Structure 1
Amino acid sequence: MFRPSTRRRLLRDAVVTGFALPVVLRTTTLAFAQVKSDDAQIVPTEKLMAEGPLPDMWIGSKDAPVTIIEYASMTCPHCAAFHAETWPTLKSKYIDTGKVRFVLREFPLDPLATAGFMLARCAGPDKRNAMTDLLFDQQKNWAFVDKPVDALAATVKQAGISQAQFESCLKDQKLYDQVNQTRDKASTDLKIDATPTFFINGRKYAGELSVAQIDKDIDEATKK
């Protein structure tokens, strides 16, 4: 779980690096979801698909019979576990075969997660999803370390983000606002309060989903 001390280190490191990060201006009391499933809530399609502060970066066929939306935080361990353990099968078995259309939406639980999402957007539409994959894959190397700002800069450098681009991106107040507005809209409109949270054809599931659970949920969704 994200620790207050990490937030303090983020502020300290921002000062040390010599530039102001808008991501350090806000805190949050949201929590990580425990591993569980809650499919009791169904959200109407028009509400779930309403235009948000940021454009969705969909992958998969637009004609896929199943739509999956994930709300995640870049610093959420359960989110990283899902992307390490379940995501490869979901992509190869369902997305690449045209059965599922998928989108990851920003739901940062802390300023560092906001920074990660901002950098992913700054990478450009063609690289945004690859950047979130990279940050989830290497989460332990940047999210929970003594100098998270330096570690985050080193991580995104692997994707071609220079130090100048890193600093410029994190000073983008408009983008910072859009990322947090995406979270706030989901919290208000969809009653999301933890990550990861999924919607599978409008049905809400809270918590990290296993491959077996994904198989079951997609099978049920395609039978309706």
Structure 2
Amino acid sequence: MLKPFKYLVAVVGVSLAALTAQGAQATEYKEHVMGAEDAPVTIVEYASFTCPHCARFANDVFPGIKKDLIDTGKVKWIYRDYPLDGVAVRASAVAQCSGDDRYFGVLELLFKSQLTWARSQDPIEGIKQVARFAGMDGDAVDKCLADEELINGIVGSRLEAEQKYNVNATPTFLIDGKTYSGEKDVKFFADKVDDLTN
């Protein structure tokens, strides 16, 4: 069941007033983009690292999308965080701190190993192990997890999604200004791209 935004704010310990005052995103937080800047179609994905549907999509469907639509120059893919809980916020922070060159690799590692770390007795330690496997320094990871501005930005990404695009589940996709919730297959995206480009 999706936790309400106020619950997430309470668990993570960020201030809703601070988020409202600074806008939806803090300066440290950034969305990540894959594909050609001038691709004819832009698709935005909202996902949570603790969402099993998101992991299944990332592991089973996204490789086909990357091969058929992103690598061929048809689609620019934008990944935005929509954390469902405090653990997802921490996983997002670690991915953000991995750097632009490693971001999508860390994202892939987190989703591939989700069943291991997300269900462990200490999921934060599990996230740290994934980060170390990705070559991130332990002290840097600890600093990242304590970065309030970054945490506010990640939670703000969810707030913006709810307020601007009526996102209320993960994964959710924005295609040509329309919102589509739930898992989709490669054909769904290929058909949408064909409709928009023909």
Greater C-alpha radius of gyration: 1
Is the Cα contact below 8 Å between 1:2 and 1:75 reproduced in 2?
Answer: no
* 2:196 pairs with 1:221: yes
Q: Identity of counterpart residues, as a percentage?
A: 36
Give the number of aligned pairs: 181
CA distance in 2, matches of 1:106, 1:89: 21
How far apart are residue 105 of structure 1 and its match? 0.2
Pairwise CA distance, 1:71: 0.4
**In structure 2, distance between residues paired with 1:213 and 1:180:** 29
Greater shift in the superposed pair: 166-175 or 211-220: 211-220
Aligned partners of 1:166 and 1:158: how far apart in 2? 12
Supply the AA of the counterpart residue of 1:89.
Answer: G
Shift of 1:162: 2.5
**Alignment of structure 1 residues 1-224 onto 2, 5 Å:** 24-25=12-13, 52-53=25-26, 54-223=29-198
How many angstroms apart in 1 are the aligned matches of 2:117 and 2:192? 33
Deviations 1:36-66 (A, max 9, x none): xxxxxxxxxxxxxxx9543332111111111
2:35/2:70 contact within 8 Å kept: yes
Mapped partners of 1:213, 1:57: distance in 2 = 22
1:190-212: CA deviations, max 9, x gaps?
A: 11111100012222110111122
Whether the 8 Å contact between 2:69 and 2:190 is mirrored in structure 1 is: no
Task: Give the C-alpha shift of residue 86 in structure 1.
Answer: 1.0
Which structure 2 segments of 5+ residues have no match?
4-9, 15-23
For residues 79 and 202 of structure 1, the distance between their equivalents in structure 2, rounded to whole angstroms, comes to: 21
Determine the C-alpha separation between the residues in 2 that align with 1:175 and 1:56.
12
In the alignment, the residues of structure 2 paired with residue 170 and residue 215 of structure 1 have an alpha-carbon distance, to the nearest angstrom, of 37
CA contact (8 A) 1:75 1:112 kept: yes
Tell me the secondary structure at the aligned position of residue 58 of structure 1.
strand
SS of the residue 1:199 aligns to? strand
Distance, in Å, in 2 between the alignment partners of 1:156 and 1:175 is 17
Structure 2 CA distance for aligned equivalents of residues 72 and 179 of structure 1: 12
Counterpart in 2 of 1:42? none
Rounded to whole Å, the distance in 2 between the matches of 1:61 and 1:206 is 25
Whether contact under 8 Å (1:23, 1:176) holds in the other structure is no
Q: State the secondary structure of the residue aligned to 2:174.
A: strand
Distance 1:192 1:181 in 2: 13
What SS does structure 1 have at the residue aligned with 2:34? coil
Q: Displacement, 1:69?
A: 0.3
Q: Secondary structure at the match of 1:102?
A: strand
Indicate the SS of the match to 1:144.
coil
Aligned Cα root-mean-square deviation (Å): 2.0
Q: What TM-score do the two structures reach when normalised by structure 1?
A: 0.75
**TM-score, with length taken from structure 2:** 0.84
